[in-house]
Amino acid sequence: MKQFIVDAFTDKPFAGNPAAVCVLENFPSEELMKNIARENNLSETAFAVKEGGAYRLRWFTPAREIDLCGHATLATAFVVLNFYEKCAAAVTFNTMSGALYVRKNGDLYEMEFPAYDLKPVPVTDEMTAALGVRPLEAFMGRDLLCVMDSAEFVKKYSPVTDKIISLPGTLLHITARGDAKADCVSRSFAPKIAINEDPVCGSGHCHIAPYWMQKLQKTEIVAYQASARGGTLYCKAKGKNLLISGKAVLFSEAEINESAF
């Protein structure tokens, strides 16, 4: 079984968000996919199988299968369009979140995702305890989004995992207004799915980007994920959906030793 490691939302190795990608003739058992994801110990391992003119795509964290992952979708599109469908300019993935379309545009891979419908929620003492300061605002989609008062806080925040895990939502995203290089900065934490910090979270920006587009009265923004690895996402509104673009770079190709299991 061939496996690729791709760094997504970056153009250089050791930055962005690494994802493992396996393109297969058939899906292995769910138990094996979970074991491979645990062995990789990356935030996501993606498995793709060609079905007609599209690919069925599934994503696994070290803890469980999830319904949407941006960086592993970008990484899988990079692998498919560079190694399996070299003459194609786009690929469609059928997923738990519906059909996802990815188009190659120069050195960018543009993904069309559903934007989450954010609902304002009260800022709680539990949020304040987890973050150390009181958020300006809080919203719920699939994940919890907390808006902070400065980019510097977002960049320097040290996560308190045992307090984050008690907050609502699958992930916690913290965000603040950006600087001259980006409209916003953010970080993403997911201890509930065995990821203390997701280096660059595409699905998280289905929460983050709509908030800042509305706040800044823009239909296009540049978003920077301020993790230790760092990554840049180019976000554009498209009706109820969101176009998220980013670069990707191949880190490695390997063969999984199937004879061992």
Sign of the torsion angle spanned by Cα atoms 121, 122, 126, 131 = positive
Q: How confident is the model at residue 194 (pLDDT cuts 50, 70, 90)?
A: confident
Examine the domain organization and report whether 45 and 96 are in the same domain. yes
Range in 71-85, 174-188, 215-229, 247-261 the model is least confident about: 247-261
Domain assignment present for residue 125? The answer is yes
Structural domain includes residue 81: yes
Residue 230 sits in the same domain as residue 133: yes
Residue 259 is predicted with a pLDDT of 78
Whether 38 contacts 31, CB under 8 Å: no
Cβ count within 10 A of residue 177: 17
Residues 21 and 52 in one domain: yes
Indicate whether 132 and 231 sit together in one domain: yes
44 is catalytic: yes
Residue 82: closest CA among 256, 253, 261, 209: 253
Mean pLDDT of 151-156: 97
Cα–Cα distance, 113 to 230 (Å, whole number)? 21
* Same structural domain, 123 and 233: yes
Q: How many domains does the chain have?
A: 2
User: Has residue 201 got a pLDDT over 90?
Assistant: yes
Neighbours of 238 (CB within 10 A): 11
121 neighbors 135 (Cβ within 8 angstroms) = no
Q: 194 and 85 in one domain?
A: no
Q: Which of 44, 51, 126, 152 is the catalytic position?
A: 44
Average pLDDT for 128-133: 97
On average, the pLDDT of the chain sits at: 96
**Helix, strand counts (H, E) of the chain:** 6, 18
- Amino acid 260: pLDDT: 74
Helix (H) or strand (E) holding 5: strand 2-8
Q: Please indicate, yes or no, whether residues 125 and 101 belong to a single structural domain of this protein.
A: no
Predicted pLDDT of residue 224: 98
Cα–Cα distance for residue pair 133/145, rounded to 1 Å: 15
The confidence score (pLDDT) of residue 178 equals 96
SS3 218: coil
Domain containing 52 equals 2-114+245-255
Query: At 31, is the pLDDT very low, low, confident or very high (cuts 50, 70, 90)?
Result: very high
Share of the chain above pLDDT 70, in %: 100
Q: Where are the beta strands (DSSP E) in 107-247?
A: 108-114, 119-120, 137-140, 144-147, 172-177, 184-190, 195-198, 220-225, 231-238, 241-246
